[in-house]
Every structure is written in C-alpha cells, then in structure tokens.
Structure 1
Amino acid sequence: MFESFDAVFLARLQFAFTVSFHFIFPSFSIGLASYLAVLEGLWLWTGRSVYLDLFKYWLKIFALTFGMGVVSGIVMSYQFGTNWSVFSDKAGPVIGPLMAYEVLTAFFLEAGFLGVMLFGMNRVGKSLHFVATLAVAVGTFISAFWILSANSWMQTPTGHVISAAGQFVPEDWWAIIFNPSFPYRLVHTVFAAYLTTALVVGGVAAWHLLRERGNEGARVMFSMAMGMITVVAPLQIFAGDQHGLNTLEHQPVKVMAMEGHFKNYPDGAPLVLFGWPDQAAGEMKYSVEIPKASSLILKHAWDAPLEGFESVDRKDWPPIAIVFWAFRIMVGLGMLMLALAAFSLLARVRKRLYDWTLLHRFALAMGPAGFVAVIAGWVTTEVGRQPFTVYGLLRTVDSASPLAAPAVGASLLAFIVVYFIVFGAGVYYILKLMSHSPHRGEEGPERGQPVRAAGITPASAVAESVAGGKEA
C-alpha cells in the first residue's frame, strides 16, 4: 500500500500529524492555566461567587486538555527514536538535556500541583490551593520556555561544536538556550496561547449570551476575554513583526517563501497579497501585489533590496506554496482578531458589550481561530526550515531512521485512526462541558447545580466532582 511513497516523506507526515494534534492542547492550556489563576485570585480578593463558579467551570476543561496534551506529547516524543534516530544521535547532546529540563522543571511542577488544584479546594485551604494554581500556571510557562528553546536552537543553532563523529556537542549552554531566535519565538508563542484561550473563552461566553443575555457568568467571561484580546492582539502583531525581522536576518530563505519572492528585487520588493507559487517554474503566478511594500515592512525603506529564490540553490528551497499560504492564513486570522478587539472596544465604550448580537456572533465564529492560527504559524516555521532539521547543518533526509516506507505508513495509519477516535471523543466531551451554563447569579439555579438540573449524563456529574464540588 505504501511502497510507492518515500519513507522520509511518510515520517515527516507522521510527525506533522501528531505534533499538530499535540500543539492544539498546550496552546490552550498555557493560557487557560493563567486564566484559572486570575479567576481564583479575583475570587479570593473580591469574594464574588461568580469567579469561583467560573474557576470550577474551566477547571474541568483544563484537566481534560492537560491530560490529552500529555498523552499526545508522549506519543510524539517516541518518534525521535523510531523515525528520527539519526537526528537523535547527532543532535541528542543538545536536544536531550533541554527536553530533560522541561520534564524536571515544568512537567513535575504541573503534574505535582495539578492534583492539589483539582482535589484540594476543601482540603488544603484557600491560600495553599491558590499557590497550587499559580504553580501549575508557572509550570506551563516554563514548559513552553524549554520546548521553544530546543525548537529555536534547531532554527538558529549556536553554542555548539561538531565532533568527529558528526554530533552537535554543547560548548556554551547560555548561547544554546538563548539562541538568536528564541526570545522572539517565546514571546510570539505565549501571546498566541493567550489569544487562543481568550478567543475560546469569548466564543463560549458569546454562545451563552446569545441564549441568555442576563447570564452573569457569561457576561464576566465575555468582558475578560474581550479585554485580553484588545490588549494582546496589537502586541502580537508587533511581536510577529519583530519575529519576522529576526527570521529575515537568520533564515532569509524562509522569508522568501513567506513573501513569495522568486526574483531578486534590487530596487524594492513588492508585497504579494495573493498568488500561486509555481515552484517548478520558479515564478509567482496570478500575483496581486503592492509595489515595494515588502521592502518597507522588512527593511523599513521603499527601495531596500531583497533577494529571491533565484539566488538560492534549488536543493535548498522549502515547499514554497505551503509556507506562502500558511503564513497568509496566520496573518489573515491575526487581522480578524484585531478587528474583533476593535469591535469589542467600540461596544464597551457604547455600553453595548453584552447586548450587541453582531459582536457576539463574530466572537462565536472566532472561537476556533486561535487554534487554526497557531497551526498555520507552526507550519510556516517548520516547513519553512526545510530541507533541514538543524538549519543549514543537518538535512532532513539525513536525519531519518533507516526504515522501509510500509513500516512508517502502517504506524501513520494507526495514529490517524486512534487519534481521531480517542481525541475526537475528548474534544466532543469538552464541547459538551462548554455547552453547560456557567454561573447564573441569583436568578438562576443554585450554584453548582445547573449541570445536574439540566439532566446531563452521569459522566458530567463525575467531571463536576473532579473539579472540586460545591463551594466550601
């Protein structure tokens, strides 16, 4: 069945599939952990029961998201040994310790305090429980720190020497960890996680507001989510621009693919809005351009020269069309996020934040946008690095295990079937939890009761008990 496929291509496809599934969960849990800490902090500060109810509401969802993220991450890491053993051998002295630091400093912190966070509300006291929630939130950030440091080193490798055996041997850990692209990638990814969470929270709140505008929990959620988007969306655009300038300095070929520049432009490069990159012909077809705008964005000068793929050996070209379109999906969704921020700010100023139906529908439609944007951003980053695993030093084709295509294809097929069944069920259950009404205030049912009063299945009641039960 898979004999006609290339084993390296199937290995890349398998890793892309598993990491895309995995990336969905951390991109949500990083922001959601911080949101839970804010909710519990506001409850302790103000004493308002709505914050505690919202904390319990999202805690159930966080627990499921965290669990699915751990499982998908473990499966993904096994592929370093099965499909990418040569990469593991050559880059292991650098990548291995960074991954170990993530487990020791972040995963143990998250997993250790998660139990207290889930079950300890009525056992350890309010203050210590809040400390546990903060520890989980900090742990998610530290986890992102180490993983992104490892990934960034693969993009901009520094601080190492290459041994006689061809291994990357650490020479300066400070240079390895804080490699040139790492600060930009860390900020850009963390902002993306916060935006992803805010969009989900805002989408869920909008759905409930469309059904019941007086729902106090939905109003609080919507206000907090729109406030976060209003602040973070412009910052993310600025961070993305700075990250792009860093990429131009260290990975100019990736930027050529993002911009769709096949030719050299000695007197200023156009901004290609849309077009079809024909890699075989080496040209951009059906191009819609803004003259010299790309030079203005990337070099801050209309007439600044920019090189194109005609100055790069074809064997070093990435899959241009994938990078080109993934980048436009990410940027387009970013512009929609900025539009949602502006819309919500206008509604807040006009005191229509909770009764403007068009805004609520827009927020609901944008609920999944963060997930799509982070996957598009990941595709831009990783596919744009090709044909290298360690940029400029180790090619992807030289990194794979010596496996036959049928073996890789069979495991890929198994992953696809299992992932869609298991994680499909998990996502379905998360959506069911989101459909339950949050805190209703004095006009609604007793706090902690809406789930059972609505006649939800016993499994939901179990999830409710996991989240800590009623307020102590």
Structure 2
Amino acid sequence: MFGIDAIDLARMQFAFTVSFHIIFPAFSIGLASYLAVLEGLWLWKKEQKYIEVFNYWKTIFAVGFGMGVVSGIVMAYQFGTNWSVFSDKAGPVIGPLMGYEVMSAFFLEAGFLGVMLFGQKRVGPRLHFFATLMVAAGTLFSAFWILSVNSWMQTPTGHIINAAGQFVPDDWFNVIFNPSFPYRLVHMVLAAYLTTAFVVGAVGAFHLLKDKSNKNARLMFSMAMWMAAIVTPIQIIAGDQHGLNTLEHQPAKIAAIEGHYKNVKGAPLLLFGMPDNDEAKTLYTVEVPRLGSLILTHSWDGELQGLESFPREDWPNTFLIFWTFRIMVGMGMIMLFIGLWSSLRRYQGRLYEDRWLARAAVAAGPIGFIAVLCGWVTTEAGRQPWTVYGLLRTSESASPLNGVEVGGTLIAFILVYFVLFGTGVYYMLRLMAKSPEPVPETTTASLKRASGMTGAPSTFDHSQS
C-alpha cells in the first residue's frame, strides 16, 4: 500500500496506537500519586484547600484513566492480529506477565476506583484515603509489569528456547528482573511524575495569571514546582544510569543515539547533526570534544563503539532515534531550568508574583508528554530490527499480512482515535480551564460531618508549601 510493505504498515499501526496509549498511563500514574498526597495532607493538616484540589483533579483523573484503559485494550489485540508469530514464540513469557498486570494492578485499580470517585460521602475519610492509596498503588503495579515485559524484550534473560522455537521461562526471577528492568522502571515512573507535575503546574499557573490570590491555584503551582525542582535532577541521574546500562547491553542503540559510525577514543558529544546510514556518517555536526566519552564511559579517553562494529542489517533507524533522544533531553533541560527558576523565586518570596514564570509554566504544560513520547520512540526504534533483542527479528515476528488490509485498519485507527480521544482530551482541557475556586466553608464542613471527620482547620500558613 502506497509503496510501503505490510510489515512496515503493521509497525506504523502499533507505533500509532502505543503513542496514543502511553500518554494516558504516564498521566494517570503521576496523577494517582498526586491525589493520594493531597488527601493525605488533608487528613493530616485539616485544611480544606487540599481536599478541594483533590476533588478538582479527581474527575480529570477518571477521564484520563478511562481513555488509557480503552487505548490499551485496542493495542493488545494487535499482538494477535498483526504479530501472531511473535505472540506464539514469546507468549509463554509475555502472556503470564501481562496476566499478572491485569490480576494485580488493573483489578486493584478497578476495585477501589469507584470508592475513590464516588465514596467520599459514603465511607469514612481514612477508608476513602485507603482507596485512593490502592488506586495509586495499582497504577505503579501496572507500570511494574508492563515495564518488565518490555524490558525483557530489550534484554531477554531467564528463558530457554524449546524445540518449537518458543521462549519458555526457566527462571521467573531473571525474566522479571532482567538487566534493564530496574533502570527502565525508575526512569518511566519519574517521567510520569514529571509529566503530571508540569500539567498541574500549567493549570495552576494559568489560573494564577487570572487571579494570583486563588489559594487552590497557588497550591497546585507550588507543589508542581517543588516536584520540578526536586525530581528533575534525580531523573537526569536515573537517565544517565539507564544510558550506561544500555551501553552494556545494547551498544548498537547507543552508537545510533550518539550518531557515531566509527569506533573512536575520546569521542565527542554530537549536539546536532544529520546521521546518514547510507553514507555511514553524520553530516553537519555540532560537537563538544571528548564529552561523549566522558558521559558514557566516565573517562576523557574512553572508547565508544560505532555502528561499523555491527552488521549493517542490524543498524536501527539512526536519524530517527538520534533526534528523538535529543528532543527528550531538550525537554528535560527545560524542566530543570523551570525548576531552578521557581526555586529562586520561592527563595525570594516571589513564587506567585513572577508572571513570566507563570507564562513559562503554562507553555511547558505538554513537555512531559513530548519527552515520554520521544523517549519511547528512542527505546523502541532503537531496538530494531529485533522484537526480542538479538533473538527474534521484527521481519520474523509478523502475521501473514496483507498490506491493503493493514493500511486500511491503520487509516481507520487514525480516524477513530482522533475523534474519540480528541473529544476526551478536549473535555479534560475544558475541566482544567475551570477555575479551582475555593469551596464555601459550610460545604467542606458538611463533607467532614458526613464522613465523620472532626477538628478545626490548622491556622498555620502553608501558602508556600
């Protein structure tokens, strides 16, 4: 279809659906934990602003969670329709892991989600808080199992290959805790937290620009900026460790990310360039001498393998992952800058007075999603041409495909997804555009009485918390 073979169309279809899907779990993981923190602070400090902000984001979480579930189900079906050979060969490993995700994570989320969303006036505050904690834990368990599956595909261990060519678990501990899993799990969870923080910060800043005295908007913005300032440096360190792990287990991916075709000691860091696999060189480079070796080997004279060390048929799409990686890093640098900027303003007592900071936070609202998408593309495209790295090629994993049929379903997916999820995102943006106005004291007092919670609000000023 249109000169593209069926396997490439199947890859495009999976890439499209997983790209839509990943943004919703990334948001849900962070937002569920944020809701748990808000409700915990409400129980501890007895200040109504925490429960007001909790209720503001609770509905937004429900919409995002629902879209994540729907997009995930659709994505999973493609294993059987477009990638049946992969499903047959890797099914004994990935099938149980995905089943564990459903049983331990999705059931936990679904079981307590209704209580969290609708039980605030029906159960006690501590039981409601427990339900919120279980929903947050469920999102983290889901990330645990899905990242275990994907990490096994990147660094497969703990299996044997039987006579039928299937990957059969031999050591479940090594299957689950494969070499790249801890690094990828930490990196993804931190990315989810930062993604959510910048959305929350953008919404808080948006409403502060309208009314800087809005205490709920101030709370959102302050908490988000704390997250940006504290977690972004941790994420940079986690990303560095992930890169070193990838260098050990997938050196061809690192060579492509860095744009190096030749083996070189004291390799420069290529800031920009145009990798060309046909010419086996990166053109028009802007580079910093020796910095590439320092980052990846922690030595000025460390040697980096270039793509020339690997068979040409094993090279990934270097141009694609070279640039997606740099976009991801660029988004991280923006996060770090805003985090440091907000820390300076907080120290000066002007966190809510700097309108340029608020405008920057609004503009930075989507950068977490951009970073997650670019990081995911870097990871998945960098694994090519393998579905199970070094063991099962993508070309050997596909179903007997008809290009016209795959192309037709791809077009259908694009149309349906943009209508369905576009409507959902529009509704979420409408909810975010509503001002988080403080609830009258009588309403909050009634909620406390209905849930059996008593105690006067604290008089301590947490305006900078």
TM range (shorter): over 0.9
CA drift of 1:102 comes to 0.1
Structure-2 change in CA distance of 1:446 and 1:430 (3 Å)? farther
- Quick one: distance in 2 between partners of 1:447 and 1:213? 23
Whether 1:197 aligns to 2:188 is: no
Contact 1:53/1:447 (8 A) holds in 2: no
Match of 2:21 in 1: 22
Whether 1:159 aligns to 2:170 is: no
Contact 1:259/1:324 (8 A) holds in 2: yes
TM-score by length of 2: 0.95
- Quick one: distance in 2 between partners of 1:174 and 1:306? 32
CA deviations 1:157-216 (Å, max 9, x no partner) are: 000011111100100000000000000000000000000000000000000001110000
Whether 1:270 aligns to 2:268 is: yes
What does 1:52-201 align with in structure 2 at a 5 Å threshold?
A: 52-201=51-200
Unaligned runs of 5+ in 1: 449-467
What does 1:242-257 align with in structure 2 at a 5 Å threshold?
A: 242-257=241-256
Contact 2:52/2:439 (8 A) holds in 1: no
Contact 1:50/1:217 (8 A) holds in 2: yes
C-alpha RMSD of the superposition: 1.5
Whether 1:343 aligns to 2:341 is: yes
CA drift of 1:440 comes to 3.5
- Quick one: distance in 2 between partners of 1:58 and 1:3? 44
Which one of 320, 329, 334 corresponds to residue 322 of structure 1? 320
Match of 1:299 in 2: 297
Match of 2:366 in 1: 368
For the residue of structure 1 that corresponds to 2:299, the secondary structure is: coil
CA drift of 1:274 comes to 0.2
Structure-2 change in CA distance of 1:440 and 1:119 (3 Å)? closer
Structure-2 change in CA distance of 1:447 and 1:324 (3 Å)? farther
CA drift of 1:217 comes to 0.3
TM-score by length of 1: 0.93
Contact 1:25/1:66 (8 A) holds in 2: yes
Match of 2:421 in 1: 423
CA drift of 1:446 comes to 8.2
Equivalent AA in structure 1 for residue 99 of structure 2? A
Count the aligned residue pairs.
Answer: 449
Unaligned runs of 5+ in 2: 452-465
Contact 1:152/1:181 (8 A) holds in 2: yes
CA deviations 1:207-259 (Å, max 9, x no partner) are: 00011100000001111110011110000000000000000000000001110
Q: Which runs of 4+ in 1 moved over 2 A?
A: 439-442, 445-448, 468-472
Match of 2:330 in 1: 332
CA drift of 1:47 comes to 1.4
Structure-2 change in CA distance of 1:441 and 1:120 (3 Å)? closer
For the residue of structure 2 that corresponds to 1:140, the secondary structure is: helix
What does 1:216-255 align with in structure 2 at a 5 Å threshold?
A: 216-255=215-254
Match of 1:401 in 2: 399
Contact 1:3/1:406 (8 A) holds in 2: no
Contact 1:217/1:441 (8 A) holds in 2: no
Equivalent AA in structure 2 for residue 116 of structure 1? V
> Structure 1 vs Structure 2: percent identity of aligned residues?
66
For the residue of structure 1 that corresponds to 2:341, the secondary structure is: helix
Match of 1:412 in 2: 410
For the residue of structure 1 that corresponds to 2:304, the secondary structure is: coil
- Quick one: distance in 1 between partners of 2:220 and 2:283? 46
- Quick one: distance in 2 between partners of 1:202 and 1:155? 34
For the residue of structure 2 that corresponds to 1:169, the secondary structure is: strand
Equivalent AA in structure 1 for residue 419 of structure 2? I
CA drift of 1:49 comes to 1.0
Contact 2:52/2:438 (8 A) holds in 1: no
Contact 1:114/1:132 (8 A) holds in 2: yes
